[in-house]
Structure 1
Amino acid sequence: MEVFVARQPILDSNEQLIGYELLYRNGQVDFYNHVDGDRATIDVLINSFVSIGVDHISYQKKCFINFTENLLLQGFPENFPPEFVVVEILETIKPTKNIIESIVKLKKLGYTIALDDFVYEDQFKDLVELADIIKVEFPKMSAEQHWKLLKIARDYKIKLLAEKVETRQEFELAVKLGYDYFQGYFFSKPTIIKTTDIPSYSHVFVEIIQELNKSDTDIDTITRLIERDLSLSYKLLKLINSGSQTKNKITSLKQAIVLLGLKEVQKWTSIISLSGAGVGIPFQAIELCLSRAKMGELLANHLNKDKSEYFLLGMFSLIDTILHRPMDEAVKVLPFSDELKDALLGSKNTYGECLVLMQALENGDWETFATSCGKLGITEEESMNCYSQAIEWSSYIVEVIQAA
């Protein structure tokens, strides 16, 4: 499943990059198809901060993102880091008491507030007092409107951003007038950033959220539910690795859940579930990942190894195929031990030998199967029993997913 985000650079008067506006797109063509505003913003956020990553989407510079009235009232921007997010208030949003309160809260949390496509009217005074940046469609503004905005900017210490700057002449005029930031086709049309995502299956989200809402939430139950969904597992592990929660390596999904915290798991499960679920990944691939994960866990019992790490080994053994990217690129964002990463990259350490054993069984390569059993010190009968149990377990999980 491919995901897309368009970005357009925002520069200062020295033509130095200060950030990007991130825009919803659902394909390689630079065209907005007027999808529901809430869904468009949620997709932009998930695709940018989870699927692609802020390092790649904006080089850790500011991301200007439109938020609808509904998402502001829900406090949705709070799910994303204030050091990177500029909250754009759409021109269609009325400054009601609830909206003002939500923006005041965002300001206290450190978010930068921008008013989008702004034309001053007295009813917007409360918004102006909270704004850090005012964005205006530069070519549309009259001389009188320019001077009024420049006075407001001086009085309230607000930065002015000129949008839709399409010529060198317009840029130089905007600089001369006193605008601070600039955006438009003169610098760059929006460019499309694409990556491959792993689709999720919505019934898993429902079960997880229901379990998290119980007064006696059980972490082991949450872990088992998340283990069913490769997409959610991958994204939660990426979040752990990109955050400040830990510098240690993760040896199990349960450890990741404990480090992230149940409230964070609930929040991100809800957000990811809103971003689109349930299409694009063949059930055969899901079933193979699950069977390898379970077999790894069962083999670990015979090898006296950590069964949680061997579960992760099997679960992510096809992540390169699913994401359509090299394995080294796919696993570098995961907080795994070096030994586990090396095995996924082809090393023949103990983890890697377990993968060889799994693949030999799947392919009916009995010579390699026998050799791997010998190297691991496990009998062929024990290995076959592990394989049989793993196939039975993964088939049941896939049946549950398909029936949901």
Structure 2
Amino acid sequence: MFSFVARQAIFDENMNTVGYELLFRDSMTNRFPDVTPEYATAQIIVEQFLGAPLGRLKEYSAIFVNFPYELLVQGMAETLPKDRVIVEILETAEPTPLLLSTVKKLYAHGFRIALDDFELGETWNAFLPYVSIIKFDVRLNTPEEIRTYIASKGELLKDTVFLAEKVETQEEYACFRNMGCTLFQGHFFSKPVIHSANRLIQNQSITLKLMKEVNADSPDFGKIEALLKQDLALSFKIMRYAQNIVFNARGVKNFRSQSLKDVIFYLGANELRRFVLVSCLTSVNKEKTDDIYHQSLIRAKFCELASARSVGRHSSDDAFIVGLFSQLDSIFEMPMADLIGQIDISVNVTMALKEKKGPLYPYLHLVELYENHNWEEVSALGHRLGFNRSVVAELIKLATKWTNDIPTNAA
């Protein structure tokens, strides 16, 4: 239940770290595994931007992410936060009219584009006005070839930042710094360092059903919501996905959704299809979700049922999210405050999860008391909410049955 990524630092001319390139790994072995570039990038998107939060990197750090041609033209780069991500066009990409149209769209939306290990010459001229950073591979091209290329482009490159990569010696650093490079990457500065993190495991059965539903001619948003509510991983990821989309489309960073239903209707069918596409590219695994996932789903359904039945009549959708996300800190081994800052949730949900107070927290507290067999406190809190201990037991039974009826991952 771990995700792996190698981070190679990127330095400025004064050797200050200004960003990182994320390199896919599938273990603590520091080499690129035998997978396609499309799979590697999709895995990075899901695990580093929709799963385990990037909060442990400094907020001002730029994050370089490699994008192969297919994922670029499918619009996958648009799903990432434009204020942090540098979209790096892989050297294998062909400079087609479709790719140029994609790059223009990303540029118009405020994304920064990097051109990586491209063929020096005229082939990429049409792209240069929309490129923020050019990465020169100093092992692939000589200093003279790079110097000649920069001089030949003049006006086209006047606002472009140059990055020398695969720099291995002090002499190479000095050479390319004198040439006008202001960013540097390579073993002379820092080798890639592997980081591992706990990751969310999707229920493969639910993911496949979700794929089928969102690709129907007329997707049923009610069915989509019901499927998402059966999977902790998909629920958390789609909320992070929605936050990125809202920020990229509107520039709003503190948008607060009220429920999964709100997220689904805001995204619409096309964005839901794109979310499911990237999620399904990385969902195939044989790991089974553990007890904490099962318990979180029971909590979620209990909180939903209890809030609908209590005298307070608070939002059952919000109560469901409180229960569902109540153990994220244990899953990720990170503070709850850091985690909920990564998603769009209502003020009441935030209060319940972060501060353990507010109108929704009593439902979560009640199920926690029940789990710990604190019967007197269950009775007292249940009474304040408007029902006795036998009703609490019945709601627990219903919540447990609902959870047990969810299809499990295929073996």
TM-score range for the pair, normalised by the shorter chain length: 0.7 to 0.9
Pairing 1:382–2:391 present? yes
Using the alignment, how far apart are the partners of 1:149 and 1:253 within structure 2? 51
Q: Amino acid of the residue matched to residue 167 of structure 2?
A: V
Partner of residue 203, structure 1: 205
Q: Amino acid of the residue matched to residue 304 of structure 2?
A: E
The unaligned stretches of length 5 or more in structure 1 are none
Question: For residues 376-400 of structure 1, what are the alpha-carbon distances to aligned partners after superposition, in whole Å with 9 as ceiling and x for unaligned?
Answer: 3311222222122112111111xx2
Does the 8 Å CA contact 2:9/2:20 hold for their aligned counterparts?
yes
Partner of residue 11, structure 1: 11
Question: For residues 309-346 of structure 1, what are the alpha-carbon distances to aligned partners after superposition, in whole Å with 9 as ceiling and x for unaligned?
Answer: 22222212222222233334333434444544444357
Partner of residue 164, structure 1: 166
Matches for 1:95-174 after TM superposition, within 5 Å: 95-96=95-96, 98-100=98-100, 102-103=102-103, 105-107=105-107, 109-120=109-120, 131-139=131-139, 141-154=141-154, 156-157=156-157, 158-174=160-176
Partner of residue 294, structure 2: 287
Residue 401 of structure 1 aligns to a residue in which SS? coil
Q: Amino acid of the residue matched to residue 268 of structure 1?
A: F
Does the 8 Å CA contact 2:51/2:236 hold for their aligned counterparts?
no
Two-structure CA RMSD over aligned residues (Å): 3.2
Q: Amino acid of the residue matched to residue 37 of structure 2?
A: G
Q: Amino acid of the residue matched to residue 282 of structure 1?
A: T
Residue 200 of structure 2 aligns to a residue in which SS? coil
Pairing 1:42–2:42 present? yes
1:235 deviates by 1.7
Partner of residue 238, structure 2: 236
Partner of residue 330, structure 1: 339
Partner of residue 23, structure 1: 23
The unaligned stretches of length 5 or more in structure 2 are none
Does the 8 Å CA contact 2:382/2:392 hold for their aligned counterparts?
yes
Question: For residues 212-264 of structure 1, what are the alpha-carbon distances to aligned partners after superposition, in whole Å with 9 as ceiling and x for unaligned?
Answer: 33444333222111101101111222344564468464442212323344433
Partner of residue 268, structure 1: 275
Does the 8 Å CA contact 2:2/2:197 hold for their aligned counterparts?
yes
Of 392, 396, 400, the match for 2:405: 396
Aligned residues: 402
Pairing 1:366–2:368 present? no
Residue identity (%): 29
Partner of residue 32, structure 1: 32
Does the 8 Å CA contact 1:150/1:178 hold for their aligned counterparts?
no
Using the alignment, how far apart are the partners of 1:139 and 1:234 within structure 2? 42
Does the 8 Å CA contact 1:54/1:60 hold for their aligned counterparts?
no
Does the 8 Å CA contact 2:10/2:19 hold for their aligned counterparts?
yes
Using the alignment, how far apart are the partners of 1:191 and 1:363 within structure 2? 42
Q: Amino acid of the residue matched to residue 35 of structure 1?
A: V
Of 149, 156, 179, the match for 2:181: 179
Using the alignment, how far apart are the partners of 1:393 and 1:381 within structure 2? 18
Using the alignment, how far apart are the partners of 1:362 and 1:53 within structure 2? 29
Residue 187 of structure 1 aligns to a residue in which SS? coil
Partner of residue 356, structure 2: 347
Q: Taking structure 1 as the reference length, what is the TM-score of the superposition?
A: 0.85
Does the 8 Å CA contact 2:201/2:233 hold for their aligned counterparts?
yes
- Relative to total residues, which structure has the larger helix share, 1 or 2? 1
Q: Which has the higher contact order (CA 8 A, sep 6+)?
A: 2
1:268 deviates by 1.8
Residue 217 of structure 1 aligns to a residue in which SS? coil
The alpha-carbon distance between structure 1 residues 74 and 353, as it changes in their structure 2 partners (threshold 3 A), is closer
Residue 6 of structure 1 aligns to a residue in which SS? strand
1:197 deviates by 2.0
Does the 8 Å CA contact 1:63/1:85 hold for their aligned counterparts?
yes
Q: Amino acid of the residue matched to residue 149 of structure 1?
A: Y
Using the alignment, how far apart are the partners of 2:343 and 2:44 within structure 1? 22
Question: For residues 274-319 of structure 1, what are the alpha-carbon distances to aligned partners after superposition, in whole Å with 9 as ceiling and x for unaligned?
Answer: 2335554534333222222221122123213222222222212222
The answer to which of 230-239 and 200-209 deviates more is 200-209
Does the 8 Å CA contact 1:87/1:114 hold for their aligned counterparts?
yes
Using the alignment, how far apart are the partners of 1:342 and 1:81 within structure 2? 25
Matches for 1:291-330 after TM superposition, within 5 Å: 291-304=298-311, 305=313, 306-330=315-339
Using the alignment, how far apart are the partners of 1:31 and 1:394 within structure 2? 40
